Amino acid sequence: KAGVTQTPRYLIKTRGQQVTLSCSPISGHRSVSWYQQTPGQGLQFLFEYFSETQRNKGNFPGRFSGRQFSNSRSEMNVSTLELGDSALYLCASSVRDNEQFFGPGTRLTVL
């Protein structure tokens, strides 16, 4: 069974731009969660989607948004990029509310 895939793997943007990241969960998994990983703040939860509905949200500004499609694929969007948004963005999927399997991440650099 294929693992969680994330595209693109690397991205370079400039301040003020917006970006969309994509995540395809493991087949059969209906929950997709997003995390931001930075050297300073570590791993922080962004939001979780289950059956196309946002079920949980972390403490991030409204510039960070997401959605989930009927096939469970998810996208997250960051608008008006800031330098501090440079991070590794990780997506995780799960079939039950316990094991979460992570993708390789998207490395976003904001210049």
Interaction between residue 109 and other proteins (CB under 8 A): no
Peptide bond into 61 cis (omega under 30): no
| Min separation Cβ 90 and other proteins, Å | 6
Residue in 54, 104, 109, 111 binding other proteins, rule: CB under 8 A: 104
Structure tokens given for 68: 């989930």
The rounded distance, in Å, linking the Cα atoms of 111 and 42 is 21
Backbone angles phi, psi at 4, to 5 degrees: -75, 130
Please report how close the Cβ of residue 80 comes to other proteins at its closest, in angstroms: 25
Give me the residue label for tokens 């694929």. 73
Contact pick of 56, 71, 80, 109 for other proteins (by CB under 8 A): 56
Stretch that binds other proteins, among 13-21, 50-58, 62-70, 77-85 (CB under 8 A): 50-58
